[in-house]
Amino acid sequence: MSDGVLPQPGNPIEAVTHVDPYPYYRQLREQRPLYFDEGLKLWVASSHSVIDEAFHNVALRVRPPAEPVPQALLGTAAGEVFAQLVRMTDGEFHAVHKPAVEQAARRWSLADVTRASEAAARDLFAAGPPQGKHGPLGGQRSVGAKFRCLTVNDLMGVLPVQAMARLLGLPDGLLDDSCRWVRQFVQGIAPGASTQAVALAAGAAEALMDQGRALGLSTVQAANRIAFMQQSLDATAGLMGHTVLMLAQYPDLALLADQSPQAMRGFVAEVERHQAPIQNTRRFAADPVVLAGQSIEAGQGVVLVLASANRDGLLNPRPDQFDPQRGERRSMGFGAGAHACPGAAIAIEMVAACIQWMRATSQFDGCFGALAGFWPLANARIPLFASRKEA
Ligand code: HEM
């Protein structure tokens, strides 16, 4: 563009990896808070009120009614796990099993999460600082002792899963393999995964389910135990990456955040609201639905742009201002209604504890270079960093 103005994203999926999607989100919210996107063949909801209504409409489900489990996973162990996840189910199955998942998430105190996060950070940093931008991790290598192979970008994905694996009580000898299996599971269940990725996910699902069963868990419990590590991966990596960026952008606020765990927690919670690592999620109409006065046909999908809702002035005053000390912060970044995230406090604490540990031990400054883009994903906005040399 000759006038130096960046082209806006073409749709909310492109927005996830756009350098600054927030003016576009504002325009959507103000001009067409619910519309049908002909290119995506999906409805798009961007205001707080429409998204909140969608989250509380029981006819809007987390999976397309015709495909409760993705076709490619059917008949595999990964498909069996998928079918048992509260994240991927609705109705009676979800209502019966969600309380146990919430209770499982509540068993850890913030101090437990801090300890597990610091232990993960300490072990990962033990062998030296991370390497440059293009890492070889790719789901194939173990980390921990082989940390010299890890890049700063890999680090952010590995750290929260390693912390969650410690919370779940995995013994040291199983940590690296389990984290690799979680990554393979996540990659294999992603839409459009290759046949090879699906096969790896099936093997990983089997290994992780065997672990759960060996602990005496039922099939549903074992599957949702995997979900704890799976959900720690992309979203928490994104939160960590955005926290790194915001600390660099606001050095005065960073100094305040350094003063106590509570202050750092507030900083990270504001990063989550302001930068929303999960920018959008989806719902599918099981029956014809009326949403914000619009008729949605059975089978049609709706993209709920959580990142836009978080910048809606009706949800928070001064929504574009980054203010770690804001009172009564409200975020839709962890979802709402029946499927609300049970791991919100855990995720914030993990990131706050890891970052505080890295800053206190001076490991932080040497690791992260300039923002080099975002992982090419349709819903999670995860920063990619250049290494220091490339920055
Ligand atoms: C920054 C980190 C995280 C973000 C932004 C995030 C966000 C979300 C969102 C938006 C949902 C709802 C999706 C929907 O309704 O369509 C969700 C569900 C869920 N999250 Fe998280 N999450 C994060 C970390 C975690 C962690 C660490 C755990 C592990 C305890 C976790 C466990 C879950 C589970 C089990 C569900 C499914 C709940 C249900 O469907 O009833 N999340 N998360």
**How do the pLDDT tens digits run along the chain, 391 residues long?**
446 677 899 999 999 999 999 999 999 999 999 999 999 999 999 999 999 999 999 999 999 999 999 999 999 999 999 999 999 999 999 999 999 999 999 999 999 999 999 999 998 877 555 554 443 333 333 333 334 456 788 888 899 999 999 999 999 999 999 999 999 999 999 999 999 999 999 999 999 999 999 999 999 999 999 999 999 888 999 999 999 999 999 999 999 999 999 999 999 999 999 999 999 999 999 999 999 999 999 999 999 999 999 999 999 999 999 999 999 999 999 999 999 999 999 999 999 999 999 899 876 666 788 899 999 999 999 999 986 644 3
Spell out the CATH class of 62-278+333-385.
mainly alpha
Q: Does any ligand 1 atom lie closer than 6 A to the CB of residue 237?
A: no
Look at residue 4 in the predicted model and tell me its pLDDT: 65
| Residue nearest (by alpha carbon) to ligand 1 atom 31 | 343
**Which atom from ligand 1 is nearest to the alpha carbon of 348?**
1
For 250: left if phi > 0, alpha if psi spans -120 to 50, otherwise beta; the answer is beta
Do β-strands 289-291 and 301-305 pair in parallel, antiparallel, or remain unpaired?
Answer: unpaired
Helices marked H in 107-218 — which ranges?
110-125, 152-167, 172-189, 195-214
Look at residue 143 in the predicted model and tell me its pLDDT: 36
Per-residue CA distances from 4 to 1, 7, 44 (Å)? 6, 9, 28
Look at residue 138 in the predicted model and tell me its pLDDT: 36
**Which atom from ligand 1 is nearest to the alpha carbon of 89?**
40
**Which atom from ligand 1 is nearest to the alpha carbon of 335?**
10
Identify the DSSP state of 9: P
Look at residue 130 in the predicted model and tell me its pLDDT: 56
141: exposed, middle or buried (C-beta count within 10 Å: 0-12, 13-18, 19+)? middle
The CA 231 to ligand 1 mean position distance, Å, reads 6
Look at residue 137 in the predicted model and tell me its pLDDT: 36
The CA 278 to ligand 1 mean position distance, Å, reads 9
Task: Give the pair of three-digit tokens for residue 29.
Answer: 């919210």
Look at residue 127 in the predicted model and tell me its pLDDT: 55
Look at residue 91 in the predicted model and tell me its pLDDT: 96
Task: Give the pair of three-digit tokens for residue 88.
Answer: 């991927």
Look at residue 129 in the predicted model and tell me its pLDDT: 54
Look at residue 6 in the predicted model and tell me its pLDDT: 76
Look at residue 78 in the predicted model and tell me its pLDDT: 97
The CA 201 to ligand 1 mean position distance, Å, reads 20
Task: Give the pair of three-digit tokens for residue 172.
Answer: 């040291």
Asked whether the beta carbons of 312 and 48 are under 8 A apart, the reply is yes
Look at residue 124 in the predicted model and tell me its pLDDT: 84
Asked whether the beta carbons of 17 and 376 are under 8 A apart, the reply is yes
Look at residue 135 in the predicted model and tell me its pLDDT: 39
Q: Where are the domains of the chain?
A: 62-278+333-385
Identify the DSSP state of 380: B
Name beta bridge partners: 151.
131
CB atoms within 10 A of CB 361: 12
Per-residue CA distances from 157 to 142, 224, 230, 237, 284 (Å)? 13, 19, 10, 5, 29
Asked whether the beta carbons of 50 and 290 are under 8 A apart, the reply is no
Name the helix (H) or strand (E) containing 384: strand 383-385
